[in-house]
Structure 1
């Protein structure tokens, strides 16, 4: 095993080598193509820490983990050898469809701080960008143009519901009460574990009901749960006692337009709601909380004296933090081109 790695490494000395863990097989060739400036090795699960140490200790390399959940010995080894530990995740305009259905992402994030944007325990590269970047006037103008496109089109992260099939529940259309949209999440997701402040879907629904006892409450089930790829902790029968369920046929854009306020734990949909001009209550500590833009149930301290706006966060989170790609050619792209492809393609979809 060691000799196989070494032979290939020495033939690619002009590129930094990335030893990647927890990356699904179906993503690997794509990642190698879109990030071809690196020399990629995908570490098998059975490889021992001792063997990995022998491989990487004298090489210009980084260890990259998809998300979290790696053996703690990995981070300890990186500290010992002073090897960078990077993390990878999908970007905020992922493209069409779920990763669970093996749809290739049109945007990816490599966070070289070792902390991803959904981990509030320490500062990610996105946190640093938000707290230190002062966007130019031209960049803010471009950001506003992108937001206008998102508002008009309903482009979101996953873009799942074909426009020809979209429906709106009659209750959501006809209710004369205040309408509260509660964003469902996968309760064993890393963002809930790391930044959810102990909340689950049931607790969030109870919070919304307690805050607005006379309102109509609507619960948007997470697409991974609807697709049968993940499980929900809160029983659906308990959810139905408090809220009207919104199924996969309704776009988030429709929900934002018809609802008065949005509740979420850590979901990106909370920030998307801000982009659509809706007030947002967050129970957890997502990257966009703590700046005075959201009603924070569990406030977080942000280390900046700057007044941060929605435009500032959009510039950093959507334009500076992720990398964009054409999933067909595997060439680098931009947010503008990605939005255009999602808006003009005949099969364009809208996120659940």
Structure 2
């Protein structure tokens, strides 16, 4: 291999691979060499964790001799990243590039970094010479999912967001700063939040020192499909449709992303091109090209033929086809109704409701049987969490975008694992975590299935005083839009009244008694709830429209019709109407107010029937002020009833909420199971301390409820002083010092 001394002599490219991926890397390198043309010499570096085997060394040496370029493997270790999650199918080798400025020869000041699952059809010498980085660290094509990635990474909406598969890298600038130190500090703080590997790290930390390349330098498979591009790209990225079209006509790099890899049978639009270079690589015998279906030659048509076919025959055929399908559907439904013994005129929507109710009964039967074997065990949320090992694989029915940068992202920090979600295979999971009572989704049933193999099953929900802003409140900084407290139950959701939850089991146990120390602690905390105006979403408390209710006023609390605490709290949509009618009948001489639910406000949904006796409170009214001034509160199953009890108010319930049935509320439904008389301190301790876990989003530490209350106050002060940024994870030092 020839050695040269000056920087201008070389065009430097870098690959990173593990041993298993070497044949694919060789194909990418082959394509780069074949299409390289320059007075400069191509020099390729391979970052790898252990020395090449004798066979691999011979193959890469033969490749460099065949196409006349320099090749140098560099041994590197990325073991410190082994616990950091990356996308399924991508190895820890992807992190090697974070070290390359430390291990590349001193004369290397700029490189083109290339993933292995690509082919290069353009001239890398042009990319190398034409890309002027100046003070920027990286240049790359915009990722075709950049809009959602910005939100998940927590960077500004217009920030540069590149796909890290092809990057021009400023090695000189990386060496002039503590690049690796910055990366390592971020990983220590966020290793459970990382879900896109080093691409997430680079875009999160250095988006303000990046610039774009033309998309032709990183063309993913979907971008070659015009129909897909027209249907999807406006909502996914900011790149223009013209630039994508140009890239599809003249791609310089073709990226075989995701499951579209030709060597694994993927149906990439440019799969034939990959095999063209595979045949010329030194691993050609490993890649046998499949027989592709032949393209059928289309007959030439006149414009009249095309018009006639498009406007008339196609429409006629479509009408006939859809009519026949509709007929088939009606026949099938009629036959199903007859066979099932259901009335012939039963509407289809009622069939759906019957199916859903049958599903709910099945879930109840499973959870009831499970509860019988486990209800005598002890369970405490904080104790359970602290005894868990780090990095466990946990199956959860929460969608990926809910956990990765979404509403439930803090769950990964609390459980100290990045491996949470539906991508965890049921047989891999240590236990299941249900975060949505979505009974008609496969994820919910997979969670139950996993637990049936003698594994724990936890039901998680945002704690009663464990959130600051709503997730869809885009005006709030991202760090404040995720719950920092969760109530965990190993028997069922606390709001599911069909069988005893762990919360109900504790309160129904005569032996569950608080010490004087615990009682005093609860009283201090309850006093803070009232005086500091703490509630479920604390950003809006004490800053809404001023409230001035007449003495003796009655307040009715709205809920969304599809609220799980209604469906599983022995209530129906019409129960809210029953509640309103009862309040009007029972309180003839006092003012009655109706507080609308925020979700109903946003969706302009009205659950209140017109009545002159009931007045609407302002939608922006602070609920804590409303409760302070109300004499009596009517609820179906809302948490607001619990907050009213903490203030010593009279509460009337029409569903079966967790705080009803213990002698503190006027309940319109009987609770046969709940035998014990309980104090408000008992309920507060069980629900908010014993079964809840809290997390400080500013320091990423598990904390007690007292510190969680402190966090709410700190977030309010920081936001008022405009010290909270729109970053997902603001710098710890500046906030901790507040």
TM-score (normalizing by structure 1): 0.81
Residue of structure 1 in register with 2:563 after alignment: 189
1:124-158 Cα deviation digits (max 9, x unpaired) = 12112222321111111011000111121221111
User: Number of matched residues?
Assistant: 321
Contact 2:461 2:488 in 1 (8 A): yes
Q: In 2, Cα distance between the equivalents of 1:163 and 1:247?
A: 14
Residue of structure 2 in register with 1:259 after alignment: 630
Q: Sort the Cα spacing of 1:79 and 1:257 in 2 relative to 1 into closer, same or farther, 3 A.
A: closer
Alpha-carbon offset, residue 165 of structure 1: 4.6
Contact 1:196 1:265 in 2 (8 A): no
Residue of structure 2 in register with 1:47 after alignment: none
SS in structure 1 of the partner of residue 514 of structure 2: coil
Residue of structure 1 in register with 2:410 after alignment: 30
1:125 is the counterpart of 2:502: yes
Question: Which consecutive unaligned segments of at least 5 residues does structure 1 have?
Answer: 45-51
Alpha-carbon offset, residue 231 of structure 1: 6.2
Question: Which consecutive unaligned segments of at least 5 residues does structure 2 have?
Answer: 1-86, 93-388, 721-738
1:308 pairs, out of 668, 671, 678, with 678
Residue of structure 1 in register with 2:432 after alignment: 63
Q: In 2, Cα distance between the equivalents of 1:28 and 1:181?
A: 32
Alpha-carbon offset, residue 337 of structure 1: 1.2
Alpha-carbon offset, residue 278 of structure 1: 0.5
Contact 1:129 1:316 in 2 (8 A): yes
Alpha-carbon offset, residue 301 of structure 1: 2.1
Root mean square deviation of aligned Cα: 2.9
SS in structure 2 of the partner of residue 181 of structure 1: strand
Q: Sort the Cα spacing of 1:75 and 1:4 in 2 relative to 1 into closer, same or farther, 3 A.
A: closer
1:223-251 Cα deviation digits (max 9, x unpaired) = 2333x1x56362x5x35644211124322
Q: In 2, Cα distance between the equivalents of 1:140 and 1:272?
A: 18
Q: In 2, Cα distance between the equivalents of 1:347 and 1:163?
A: 15
Contact 1:100 1:224 in 2 (8 A): no
1:314-346 Cα deviation digits (max 9, x unpaired) = 111111111111122221112111222324542
Q: Sort the Cα spacing of 1:167 and 1:239 in 2 relative to 1 into closer, same or farther, 3 A.
A: farther
Alpha-carbon offset, residue 187 of structure 1: 1.4
Residue of structure 2 in register with 1:96 after alignment: 468
Q: Sort the Cα spacing of 1:88 and 1:116 in 2 relative to 1 into closer, same or farther, 3 A.
A: same
Contact 1:168 1:249 in 2 (8 A): no
Contact 2:429 2:450 in 1 (8 A): no
Matches within 5 A, 1:128-167: 128-132=505-509, 133-161=512-540, 163-167=542-546
Matches within 5 A, 1:1-352: 4=88, 15-23=391-399, 24=402, 25=404, 26-27=406-407, 29-36=409-416, 38=417, 40-43=419-422, 55-57=425-427, 59=428, 61-69=430-438, 70-71=441-442, 73-74=445-446, 77-78=449-450, 80-101=452-473, 103-113=481-491, 115-132=492-509, 133-161=512-540, 163-169=542-548, 172=549, 175=550, 178-198=552-572, 199-226=574-601, 228=602, 232=605, 234=607, 238-239=609-610, 241-304=612-675, 306-343=676-713, 345-346=716-717
Q: In 2, Cα distance between the equivalents of 1:110 and 1:268?
A: 16
1:68-119 Cα deviation digits (max 9, x unpaired) = 1143643662365333332211001023112343611121123222x11110
Q: In 2, Cα distance between the equivalents of 1:153 and 1:348?
A: 16
Task: After the TM superposition, list the runs of 4 or more consecutive aligned residues in structure 1 that deviate by more than 4 angstroms.
Answer: none
TM-score (normalizing by structure 2): 0.40
Alpha-carbon offset, residue 67 of structure 1: 2.5
Q: In 2, Cα distance between the equivalents of 1:211 and 1:183?
A: 16
1:187-213 Cα deviation digits (max 9, x unpaired) = 111101110422443222112112212
Alpha-carbon offset, residue 29 of structure 1: 4.0
SS in structure 2 of the partner of residue 64 of structure 1: strand
Contact 1:18 1:39 in 2 (8 A): no
SS in structure 1 of the partner of residue 700 of structure 2: coil
Q: In 2, Cα distance between the equivalents of 1:224 and 1:62?
A: 32
SS in structure 2 of the partner of residue 219 of structure 1: strand
Contact 1:281 1:297 in 2 (8 A): yes
1:152-190 Cα deviation digits (max 9, x unpaired) = 122111124263554115xx2xx46x4111011111111
Contact 1:262 1:273 in 2 (8 A): yes
Structure with the bigger RCO (C-alpha within 8 Å, sep 6+) is 1
